[in-house]
Structure 1
Amino acid sequence: MPQTLDAVAVRSWCARALDALGREREEIDAINVYPVADADTGTNLYLTVESAAQAVEAVFAAHEVGSSSPAAGEVVRAMAHGALIGARGNSGTILAQLLRGMAERLADGDELPGALRRAAQLAREAVAHPVEGTILSVAGAAADAAGACTDPGDAGAVAKAAYEGASTALDATPGQLEVLARAGVVDAGGRGLLTVLGALVESVSGAAVPARRERPAHPAPPPEQCGAEGGPAFEVIYLLEADDAAVERLRTRLDGLGDSLVVVGGDGLWNVHVHVDDAGAAVEAGVEAGRPYRIRITHFAAAAGAGAAAPPRREPVQRAVVAVVPAEGLAALCAEAGATTVLARPGEPPASGELVDAIRRAHAREVVLLPNDADLRHTAAAAAEQARTEGVRVALIPTRAAVQGIAALAVHEPGRRFDEDVVAMTAAAGATRYAELAVAERQSWTTAGVCQAGDVLGLIDGDVAVIGRDLAATAETVLDRMLSAGGELVTLIASDSAPAGLTARLESHVRETHLAVDTVAYAGGADAAPLRIGVE
């Protein structure tokens, strides 16, 4: 009986691909030598698919509320969009474009062969200078094999053909790229794509693909073989809101700045990836083209120069703190206190993979994780569990707001025993009540009554407690309510959008009306909340 790629199969495919990449991530990392030997391809593909999986689950969750089932086209579009906004690295960005190509055709009712052909075509077009022996070659071979399938309507048969074609092409990659031949490996991106196609086979046919193991790359390939000599120093990735004409100009600009340029997406939203020496210029080019955000800049660890030795392995520190923050100003504040930070903008919560990546970057044997958001509790717990499997001792303190995280950081002492430090930080966070001010976007019911668009809302411990018209006056009312239960220290974090002199007025108010209460103020930067308040 012919097998189809319906909504349930797409969901299963995404989940299986994430599980498989999780198991094989380190193996794929170990064979990564192109375009740079930075051992990140498996991790980047995992993070990309994790973002895709979250988008797919969100679609199913939305339909559960309405007791309906999503269409296959809706699910595959969500998978592609999730991959686009979460794409990491060269291979992750290309995978996002492959999924976008598949989504285009599958959503229009096309069969799997046509979807794979469109995927390979779009991915190749997205790369400024396509190279054979890479994920592009593997994707093209998969599409060719799928197109030769005698029963194009049988998704199971097509997926198996695509997997076999991709496997053959992957084995041929060392003969196409000298850097792979010298290192004794197949292309890491192509290997990751084969894992994703294997998950597709299992989802639509139920048949398991054969186990495959790769030998790690030969140690210390000469710099001229791994692309380090004279190569760009930085990898720059960002999401970009821009029109097609601006993106075409951006491609030309970035192509002149560096290499490994991949720009994927469409319909006004793009994911930009490039390797450059001048990271600032690459970001400025994005600003000229539209609105770049989620900017990630990575300095390649490979040593430059002919015959240069690999940099010494950095020994892990004993303890570190990883904190999620909602704005750049708070990121700088936490970084000054020694924390590794993860930026979480409104509507863009970090995935568990991003938190795991931050824990790895902290490079410590013991890590205290501060999610600073009640909605990130499960995400942070998953990240902590994953890090523990990698040998890191992780303590998750369930901070619900940034001011609680700041209070915990204030008492953090790396020199004392881990358990004692965690207890002290947990106590400091728990003793801190939190509030924030926001502006209502529309009329709605709240726990404090009906608000109108433009009203100032004072939220205490997550619930609307005060509704006002003036930001400063509403903030004073919030402070009075919080301090009525006592307090010794008030923390004020004002964003760039807050009125000038706001914190000075509030500090004066606290001095005059609440004796023996100290106040400290910080700049929050481009924060969505005009004011955040903590009371200890």
Structure 2
Amino acid sequence: MPYPLDAVAVRTWCGLALEALGRERERIDAINVYPVADGDTGTNLYLTLESAARAVEAAFDGHGSAGTAPALADAVGAMAHGALIGARGNSGTILAQLLRGMAQVLVVSPAGETGAAEALRRALRRAATAAYEAVAHPVEGTVLTVATAAAGAAERTAGGAAGVAEVARAAHRGAAEALEATPGQLAVLGKAGVVDAGGCGLVALLGALADALSGEVTVVPVAVRAGGPPPEPFGCAAAGVGDAAAEDCADPHAGGPAFEVIYLLEAGDAEVARLRARLDRLGDSLVVVGGDGLWNVHVHVDDAGAAVEAGIEAGRPYRIRITHFGAGPRGKEPALAARAVVAVVPGAGLAGLCTEAGATTVTVRPGEPPASGELVQAIRQARAREVMLLPNDPELRHTAAAAAEQARAEGVRVAVIPTRSAVQGLAALAVHEPGRSFDEDVVAMTAAAGATRYAELAVAEHQSWTMAGVCQAGDVLGLIDGDVAVIGPDLARTAMTVLDRMLSAGGELVTLVLGADVPEALGERLERHVRERHLAVDTVVYEGGEYAAPLLIGVE
């Protein structure tokens, strides 16, 4: 029996779609050869939809009336927003825009079966159009083509008695047929003998929508024409990228950008328009999705720092993720590195610093710690057999441990280095040596972190009791090893007092990380103070960027 297009249907759709993408994730990863053969499209789609599903559940949990569901607009809006803030990779970013396009139409709950069918047709068309608008240089034979075909198939049901379930099923069939044709539209797919991975995920998603609305769970294999017998698997879909067939799965466009940069951005429309133009000059695979002041930015570049700086000029970037595609030509599945480092850092400046040192970074802002799934994804993106995970925050120790456990179940050897601050992470990263044994590297990095005392300066928001006495709103707090040790009137004098206390027990190197709003002269002043008061102690100064604390101090 068909179900109405309402919030409950959206919730059911999310659940069925997660199940479908969970089944197909590894297969979709294996056929991922465009735009970069990094084997993560299925995983990125799953994680993006998982974020969307959590948002829908939150909408139900937050609904005021017990036993009733929120409005359709609230559910589909939550789904779109959850996908936007949790989008992973090129494929996840486009999926977020597809869902946003649908939500823009479904803001008004349709009346009756006929109204629901027409609303779904318009929603699918708006989704396809919005996705094209988000991609800087649309390419046919991709998920964009599949989305357009789905909308067209849905529109061809108009004029009859087709209900909303029939419209969804027609869209699913149209998408599946279009997906089969993608190897003939995009040369790299034809050479590899595979269909488009992103389009493969969209077919699974639309199949779940049809099942949710019809009440009949009839799983049609993705990349197979609906209603027909399953053919032999396409090339790399069966063999898997990374074996002897991998050479046939290579993108002929070698020598492309080295980094994938993704971040959420709070900015206005005009600023985002200028950002698009700037990022388009910097790299490729540019996708910018969102609106109403919140955007998700995705681009492939050689200069990751420049891409982040462009975001800072446009607005407030956060949840910055920078991934190195690895050595070797663009389009080839990068060989697994022997060992890699994944670091959680506050601030774009620290992210750039760690990236230059070869680490995969997860950038966070205060109050928004990463989930274990986000750390697991970063470990996967590091593409290494062995990974050193630097949480750089005592509050993340359990999250990091859970991520490490999951990664170990996937065959990656992971060690969590117990870094409690970003400066301890920098110290550990400085002694990282992939050439020595794993255990020796763990010991060396752990010892370097443990030998680094850390401090942070912050501004008190209200009066409170501390271990150093009572502080007033506006006072500068100096926290040494996590505890308030100094209360001062301004940043410079408090920092000097903190440095003197830390260096009273000795030290060879002071690391200063300055926040975005701190004047550059402070670094020079503190460096001069250390040189004059503590002979034979070297000082290095880094820019932490936005979301870093006003000042971080490390003493080794």
Structure 2: gaps spanning 5 or more residues: 111-115, 224-232, 237-244
Partner of 1:141: 149
| Counterpart for residue 270 of structure 1 | 295
Aligned partner of 1:215 in structure 2 is 234
Matched, 1:495 2:531: no
| In structure 2, C-alpha distance between the alignment counterparts of 1:58 and 1:337, rounded to whole Å | 39
For 1:318-397, list aligned pairs within 5 A.
319-331=339-351, 334=354, 339-346=359-366, 349-350=369-370, 352=372, 354-360=374-380, 362-397=382-417
Q: Structure 1 residue aligned with 2:181, among 150, 172, 178?
A: 172
Residue aligning to 1:101:
101
Match of 2:527 in 1: 504
Match of 1:118 in 2: 126
CA distance in 1, matches of 2:433, 2:273: 51
CA contact (8 A) 2:404 2:415 kept: yes
Task: Give 1:307's aligned residue.
Answer: none
Give 1:393 deviation, angstroms: 0.9
The 3 A distance-change label for structure 1 pair 434 and 177 is: closer
Alignment of 1:42-57 (within 5 A): 42-52=42-52
Question: Which is worse superposed, 431-440 or 49-58?
Answer: 49-58
Q: 1:71 to 1:374 in 2, by over 3 A?
A: farther
Alpha-carbon offset, residue 35 of structure 1: 4.3
Give deviations 1:162-220, integer Å, cap 9, x for gaps.
43332233233345445534432222111011223344456664736244575344654
Instruction: Identify the residue that residue 201 of structure 2 maps to in structure 1.
Output: 192
Confirm or deny that 1:523 pairs with 2:546.
no
1:456 aligns to what? Answer: 476
Report the secondary structure of 1:494's partner residue: strand
How much does 1:458 deviate? Answer: 3.0
* Pair 63,439 (structure 1): closer, same or farther in 2 beyond 3 Å: farther
- Specify whether residues 477 and 88 from structure 1 end up closer, same or farther in structure 2 by C-alpha distance, changes over 3 A only: same
List per-residue Cα deviations over 1:467-491 (Å, max 9, x = no partner).
Answer: 432123334555677789x776785
**Larger deviation, residues 386-395 vs 255-264:** 255-264
Question: Is the 1:36–1:227 Cα contact (8 Å) retained in structure 2?
Answer: no
> Cα 1:451–1:9, aligned 2, differ >3 Å: closer, same or farther?
farther
Matched, 1:77 2:77: yes
Q: 2:349 & 2:282 partners in 1: Cα distance?
A: 29
Secondary structure of 2:420's match? coil
Once the 2 structures are TM-superposed, how far is the Cα of residue 362 of structure 1 from its aligned partner?
Answer: 4.3
Distance in 2 (CA, whole Å) between partners of 1:286 and 1:75 is 30
Alpha-carbon distance in structure 2 between the residues aligned to 1:178 and 1:389: 36
* Alpha-carbon displacement from aligned partner over 1:109-160 (angstroms, at most 9, x marks no partner): 3446143332223223334554443212322333345553888876x66554
Provide closer, same or farther for how the CA distance between residues 358 and 68 of structure 1 changes in structure 2, counting only shifts above 3 A: same
Q: For residue 327 of structure 1, report the CA deviation from its aligned partner.
A: 3.4
1:201–1:208 contact (8 Å) kept in structure 2: no
Tell me, in whole angstroms, the C-alpha distance in 2 between the residues paired with 1:14 and 1:463: 44
Q: How many residues align?
A: 520
CA separation of 1:72/1:511 partners in 2, compared to 1, >3 Å: closer, same or farther? Answer: farther
C-alpha spacing 1:67/1:530, structure 2 compared with 1 (3 Å): farther
Q: Distance in 2 between matches of 1:397 and 1:295?
A: 20
Change (3 A) 1:250 1:409: closer
The answer to whether the aligner puts 1:468 opposite 2:488 as a matched pair is: yes
- How many angstroms apart in 1 are the aligned matches of 2:442 and 2:105? 52
Bigger CA drift: 523-532 or 204-213?
A: 204-213
Distance 1:435 1:152 in 2: 66
Give the Å deviation of 1:98. 0.5
Task: Give the % identical residues.
Answer: 67
User: What is the TM-score normalised by the length of structure 1?
Assistant: 0.75
Shift of the alpha carbon at 1:395? 1.9
RMSD of the TM alignment (CA)? 4.8
Flag structure 1 segments of 5+ consecutive residues without an equivalent: 305-309
C-alpha separation in 2, matches of 1:253 and 1:412: 35
- Give the AA of the match of 1:119: A
Structure 1 Cα separation of the partners of residues 440 and 309 of structure 2: 46
> What CA distance in whole angstroms lies between the structure 2 residues aligned with 1:176 and 1:332?
38
* Residues 279/335 of structure 1: CA separation in 2 closer, same or farther (3 Å cut): closer
SS at match of 1:343: strand
Farther off after superposition, 371-380 or 6-15: 6-15
Contact 2:101–2:123 (CA under 8 A) maintained in structure 1: yes
Report Cα offsets for 1:236-261 as digits up to 9, x if no partner.
65555544345456656766787655
Which secondary structure does the structure 1 equivalent of 2:457 belong to? strand
CA distance in 2, matches of 1:53, 1:430: 40
